[in-house]
């Protein structure tokens, strides 16, 4: 078992580092790193540095080479027992970037050098206190062969460059902002650059550079435009300006995560940079804008103000996700992004929160920090900050963030410091609110409603509870903001006056639940209203509000909160699906629910609605979300119920779906604005329903759309519909797509993912064939995710095949990746951790695979933690 690290053990580092000078003599399999740093003691203790997989070539203290007796080195640390109160340290290490398949530290991707230091990759470059509260000023010199590596980049500003007489050249970069080592970055390679500029509101001009391989130059316009939008938005929304003279983004094709916010030199997974209408879908465009924004926003929420320790990860991530969500909402101007965020949270974060790896937004312990870049820390963390904003209101919240940024600029702080700033600007006591950071699990709220006709009063009684999670048997009540409105029979919102208040205060209120049970009585209520609660999904909870089908249908057409309007439809769909599952379980005959079908038709025909919202409304709840409502998850039944509904809705509304598909055909120039995307989304949703029915005529429409190849959104929609419905044309379609796109790695990833997510018999065999094909590459995380990850996390019916073959397949890959890339191995493993949710036979099969992985020789810390906690 790996060691556990506890938040309660935090102690400040006993030294301060004034600055560090790094020299890299870059060679693929033997790079020499010289680190010269100036130190000052702050408190007593030995000098202990982190370091892994390093060959120590020299160690000098104040210019004197240390003897072996002066220090000790083990696999993880270098300790010097005696050091003066102020000294200079010089360390030379040799590393092997070409052999680095874990993609942490310095590695080679596509022939170029790049780094990934968050969370603890810097220790694979040199010996250093690899913790975020040790901040210093970096000057970095890169030396490399000029012909192979013409571009040499690091953080900050370029201060020197030149040629040497041995065919090598050098560049020196200086970053004036003290930073933790996880924000260090370098890139050396053969890259082309597109350049633009941005003038900040105080009038400074910032050079913007995007580095890609030369053949990708035509796919950079959207990323550059997104960056400029993000810079302008952060000035406007949060008063944050950029601080260096240059902002660089480099796209690399081998990357463990989405992107990284290194100071002044972001490194991106190429999938979040490169886009052209031919190669990227609308969803890709939106994701690129969001990730570019996210990394840019980190410059303040993460870099200028950073984390004291990794337990505080959500301090930067939760807040920055909220910021990128707000940015995306502002760019699209619709409720669609909010709906998509909530879908993600409910389908996956709720699962995490209910499983063996559940942890609070601010965990109290970990074994491997890489395992904590989770949906809980990111997405639930964003919900927590969003709730603060809901409680304080936008103006006070902005005052709070201003105070936080000014008070802590240049510091490494905690989530408590963030909440304290909110308390200080508002005068509110948020001590109970902090439980959101401390307690894991998804709270559940039940609602009892009572209308008293004689009194004209309406009482809502809310009760909260939260299931136990690992290490937390009993939970204290959460401070929950519940946005609420009431509607009269005509669909008009009531003015809300609570008993004891002199006058009504608006048509929407934030009810603050802080106890296990609380009642709210509204007065002057003339007839029994329909409640709309948790509007905009104002808290990450499960709300059990038992509205009848008629009330849900009413809210679907009358609620003035777009999110809740959508939500009412989802509730109805969920209910219909759960009933179908019951029918299937009792061997009954399923039938299409007439009311639901009528509501579907009304929404499809509603000319007043934004097409994107219609598409959202007509998208049935995800299988993973439906699973949340079953005591024992039956992936087969869930899938059959959902398919039944899709197919029968298709039959029932064939004409309307076809009309809509035809009506929304867009022959004009391709645009990527929200309106055009919404149209494509609805149009392709219709196509999906139609193809599901499986007749020749609609299949030929899909083939036509595929062949026309107007843009990747339409192509992918047609191809997915054909492949996932098992259409006879699917092989031909896949072959044509492969022939056209096999040279484009990001597009080929899509081709892999479509096949891996086909909910059909034979998919696993096909996935295995694909894994054996020359296009598959275990060392490329995007490719592994697109095949193995898609199959096991996005194809529940095939992954959970009753014979356990899906589980064994995943485990085989986890075993191989454990040695190559532990981070990816451990992430892929997630679906197996959910074994307790399934029937006894599946539980046994899943556990067997976990146990098999658990006894691997040389089990990585990443995988060991996940397996150990899942089997506990």
User: Contact residues for ligand 0A1 (CB under 6 A)?
Assistant: 116, 118, 256-261, 294-295, 317, 370, 373, 823
Q: Are the CB atoms for 269 and 260 separated by under 8 Å?
A: no
Size of residue set near Zn ion by CB under 5 A:
2
Considering CB distances under 5 to 8 angstroms, the limit depending on partner class, which of ligand 0A1, Zn ion, none binds residue 118? ligand 0A1
Nearest residue to 536 via CA among 375, 360, 326, 376: 326
Helices (H), 664-711: 674-692, 696-708
Cα–Cα separations (whole angstroms), residue 418 to 139, 252, 434: 31, 34, 11
Compute the distance between CA of residue 515 and CA of residue 852 in angstroms, rounded to an integer. Answer: 45
Q: Which is nearer to Zn ion, 252 or 719 (CB)?
A: 252
Tell me which residues in 288-317 interact with Zn ion (CB under 5 A).
317
Nearest to ligand 0A1 by Cβ — which residue?
257
Nearest residue to 774 via CA among 806, 738, 720: 738
Compute the distance between CA of residue 869 and CA of residue 352 in angstroms, rounded to an integer. Answer: 13
Q: Which is nearer to ligand 0A1, 121 or 441 (CB)?
A: 121
Active-site choice (104, 261, 295, 624): 295
Considering CB distances under 5 to 8 angstroms, the limit depending on partner class, which of ligand 0A1, Zn ion, none binds residue 705? none
Compute the least distance from the CB of residue 261 to Zn ion, in Å. 6
Considering CB distances under 5 to 8 angstroms, the limit depending on partner class, which of Zn ion, ligand 0A1, none binds residue 260? ligand 0A1
Torsion angles phi and psi, residue 283, rounded to 5: -60, -35
Tell me which residues in 312-351 interact with Zn ion (CB under 5 A).
317, 320
- What is the phi-psi region of residue 191: left when phi exceeds 0, alpha when psi lies from -120 to 50, beta otherwise? beta
Compute the least distance from the CB of residue 256 to ligand 0A1, in Å. 5
- For the four alpha carbons of 422, 427, 431 and 435, in that order, the dihedral sign comes to negative
Q: Which is nearer to Zn ion, 316 or 479 (CB)?
A: 316
Q: Are the CB atoms for 278 and 712 separated by under 8 Å?
A: yes
Compute the distance between CA of residue 735 and CA of residue 455 in angstroms, rounded to an integer. Answer: 70
Considering CB distances under 5 to 8 angstroms, the limit depending on partner class, which of ligand 0A1, Zn ion, none binds residue 92? none
Compute the least distance from the CB of residue 314 to Zn ion, in Å. 10
Considering CB distances under 5 to 8 angstroms, the limit depending on partner class, which of Zn ion, ligand 0A1, none binds residue 353? none
Considering CB distances under 5 to 8 angstroms, the limit depending on partner class, which of ligand 0A1, Zn ion, none binds residue 561? none
Sequence-separated (6 or more) residues with CB below 8 Å from residue 8: 364
The alpha carbon torsion through 247, 251, 252, 253 (nearest 10 deg) reads 160
Compute the least distance from the CB of residue 117 to ligand 0A1, in Å. 8
Q: Which is nearer to ligand 0A1, 711 or 860 (CB)?
A: 860
Q: Which is nearer to ligand 0A1, 256 or 367 (CB)?
A: 256
Nearest residue to 825 via CA among 865, 798, 794: 865
- For the four alpha carbons of 59, 62, 68 and 69, in that order, the dihedral sign comes to negative
Q: Which helix (H) or strand (E) holds 642?
A: helix 635-652
Please give the angle made by the CA atoms of 791, 794 and 800, to the nearest 5 degrees: 65
Compute the least distance from the CB of residue 821 to ligand 0A1, in Å. 11
Compute the distance between CA of residue 352 and CA of residue 347 in angstroms, rounded to an integer. Answer: 9
Q: Which is nearer to ligand 0A1, 182 or 397 (CB)?
A: 182
Compute the least distance from the CB of residue 653 to ligand 0A1, in Å. 41
295 is catalytic: yes
Q: Which is nearer to ligand 0A1, 310 or 741 (CB)?
A: 310
Please give the angle made by the CA atoms of 159, 164 and 165, to the nearest 5 degrees: 165
Considering CB distances under 5 to 8 angstroms, the limit depending on partner class, which of Zn ion, ligand 0A1, none binds residue 110? none
Compute the least distance from the CB of residue 16 to Zn ion, in Å. 27
Q: Which is nearer to ligand 0A1, 789 or 796 (CB)?
A: 789
Stretch 601-620: interaction string toward Zn ion, x if CB under 5 A: --------------------
Compute the least distance from the CB of residue 274 to Zn ion, in Å. 20
Considering CB distances under 5 to 8 angstroms, the limit depending on partner class, which of ligand 0A1, Zn ion, none binds residue 624? none
Compute the distance between CA of residue 203 and CA of residue 214 in angstroms, rounded to an integer. Answer: 32
Considering CB distances under 5 to 8 angstroms, the limit depending on partner class, which of Zn ion, ligand 0A1, none binds residue 331? none
Compute the least distance from the CB of residue 314 to ligand 0A1, in Å. 11
Tell me which residues in 481-540 interact with Zn ion (CB under 5 A).
none
User: The tokens 């465009």 sit on which residue?
Assistant: 285
Cα–Cα separations (whole angstroms), residue 678 to 329, 337, 518, 562: 14, 12, 41, 15
Q: Which is nearer to ligand 0A1, 269 or 713 (CB)?
A: 269
DSSP conformation letters of 150-216: -EEEESSEEEEEEE-TTSEEEEEEEEEEEEEGGG--EEEE--EEEEEEEE-TTS-EEEEEEEE-GGG
Compute the distance between CA of residue 707 and CA of residue 671 in angstroms, rounded to an integer. Answer: 20
Q: Catalytic amino acids? A: 295
Residues that bind Zn ion (CB under 5 A): 317, 320
């Amino acid at each position: 078992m790996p060691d556990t690290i506890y938040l309660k053990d935090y102690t400040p580092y006993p030294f301060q580092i004034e600055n560090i000078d790094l020299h890299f003599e870059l060679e693929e399999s033997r790079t020499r790193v010289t680190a010269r740093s100036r130190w000052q003691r702050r408190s007593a203790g030995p000098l202990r540095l982190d370091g892994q997989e390093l060959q120590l070539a020299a160690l000098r203290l104040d210019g004197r080479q240390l003897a072996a007796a002066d220090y000790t080195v083990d696999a993880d640390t270098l300790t010097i027992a005696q050091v003066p109160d102020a000294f200079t340290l010089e360390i030379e290490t040799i590393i092997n970037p070409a052999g680095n398949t874990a993609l942490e530290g310095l590695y080679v991707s596509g022939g170029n050098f790049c780094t990934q230091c968050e969370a603890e990759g810097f220790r694979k470059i040199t010996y250093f206190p690899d913790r975020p509260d040790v901040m210093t000023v970096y000057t970095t010199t890169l030396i490399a062969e000029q012909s192979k590596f013409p571009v040499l980049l690091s953080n900050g500003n370029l201060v020197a460059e030149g040629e040497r007489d041995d065919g090598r050249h050098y560049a020196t970069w200086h970053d004036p902002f003290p930073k933790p080592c996880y924000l260090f970055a370098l890139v050396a390679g053969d890259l082309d650059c597109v350049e633009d500029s941005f003038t900040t509101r105080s009038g400074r001009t910032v050079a913007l550079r995007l580095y890609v391989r030369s053949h990708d130059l035509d796919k950079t316009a959207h990323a550059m435009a997104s960056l400029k939008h993000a810079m302008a938005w952060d000035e406007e929304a949060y008063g944050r300006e950029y601080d260096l003279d240059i902002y660089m983004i480099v796209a690399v094709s081998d990357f463990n995560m989405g992107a990284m916010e290194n100071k002044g030199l972001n490194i991106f997974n190429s999938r979040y940079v490169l886009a052209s209408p031919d190669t990227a879908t609308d969803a890709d465009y939106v994701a690129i804008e969001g990730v570019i924004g996210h990394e840019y926003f980190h410059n303040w929420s993460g870099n200028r103000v950073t984390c004291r320790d990794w337990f505080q990860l959500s301090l930067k991530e939760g807040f920055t996700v909220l910021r990128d969500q707000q940015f995306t909402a502002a760019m699209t101007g619709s409720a669609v992004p909010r709906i998509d965020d909530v879908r993600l949270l409910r389908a996956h974060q709720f699962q995490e929160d209910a499983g063996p790896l559940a942890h609070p937004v601010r965990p109290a312990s970990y074994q491997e920090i890489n395992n904590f870049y989770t949906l809980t820390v990111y997405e639930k963390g964003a919900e927590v900050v969003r709730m603060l904003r809901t409680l304080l209101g936008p103006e006070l919240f902005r005052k709070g963030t201003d105070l936080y940024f000014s008070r802590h600029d240049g510091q490494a702080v905690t989530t408590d410091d963030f909440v304290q700033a909110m308390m200080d600007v508002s005068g509110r006591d948020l001590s109970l609110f902090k439980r959101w950071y401390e307690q894991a699990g998804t709270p559940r709220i039940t609602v009892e409603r009572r209308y008293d006709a004689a009194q004209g009063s309406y009482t809502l009684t809310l009760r909260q509870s939260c299931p136990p999670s690992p290490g937390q048997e009993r939970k204290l009540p959460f401070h929950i903001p519940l946005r609420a409105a009431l509607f009269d029979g005509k669909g008009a919102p009531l003015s809300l006056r609570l008993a004891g208040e002199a006058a009504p205060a608006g048509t929407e209120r934030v009810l603050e639940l802080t106890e296990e049970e609380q009642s709210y009585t509204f007065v002057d209520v003339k007839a029994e209203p329909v409640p709309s609660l948790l509007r905009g999904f104002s808290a990450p909870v499960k709300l059990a509000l038992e509205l009848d089908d008629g009330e849900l249908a009413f809210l679907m057409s009358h609620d003035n909160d777009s999110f809740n309007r959508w939500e009412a439809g989802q509730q109805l769909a969920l209910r219909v699906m759960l009933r179908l599952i019951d029918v299937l379980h009792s061997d009954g005959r399923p039938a299409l629910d007439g009311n639901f079908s009528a509501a579907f038709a009304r929404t499809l025909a509603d000319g007043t609605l934004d097409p994107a919202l219609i598409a959202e409304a007509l998208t049935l709840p995800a299988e993973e979300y439906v699973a949340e409502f079953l005591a024992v998850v039956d992936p087969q039944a869930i899938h059959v119920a959902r398919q039944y509904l899709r197919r029968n809705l298709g039959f029932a509304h064939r004409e309307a779906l076809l009309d809509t598909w035809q009506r929304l055909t867009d022959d004009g120039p391709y645009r990527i604005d929200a309106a055009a995307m919404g149209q494509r989304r609805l149009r392709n949703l219709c196509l999906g329903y139609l193809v599901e029915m499986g007749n020749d005529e609609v299949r030929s429409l899909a083939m036509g759309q595929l062949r026309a190849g107007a843009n990747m959104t339409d192509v992918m929609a047609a191809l997915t519909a054909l492949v996932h419905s098992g259409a006879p044309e699917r092989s031909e379609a896949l072959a044509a797509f492969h022939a056209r796109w096999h040279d484009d790695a990001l597009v080929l990833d899509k081709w892999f993912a479509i096949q891996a997510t086909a909910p059909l018999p034979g998919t696993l065999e096909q996935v295995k064939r694909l894994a054996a094909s020359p296009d598959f590459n275990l060392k490329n995380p995007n490719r592994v995710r697109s095949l193995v990850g898609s199959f096991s996390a996005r194809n529940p019916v095939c992954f959970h095949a009753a014979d356990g073959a899906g589980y064994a397949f995943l485990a085989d890959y986890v075993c191989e990746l454990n040695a190559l890339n532990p981070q990816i191995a451990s992430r892929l493993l997630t679906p197996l951790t959910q074994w307790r949710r399934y029937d006894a036979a599946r539980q046994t099969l899943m556990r067997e695979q976990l146990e098999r992985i658990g006894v691997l020789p040389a089990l990585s810390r990443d995988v060991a933690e996940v397996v150990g906690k899942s089997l506990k």
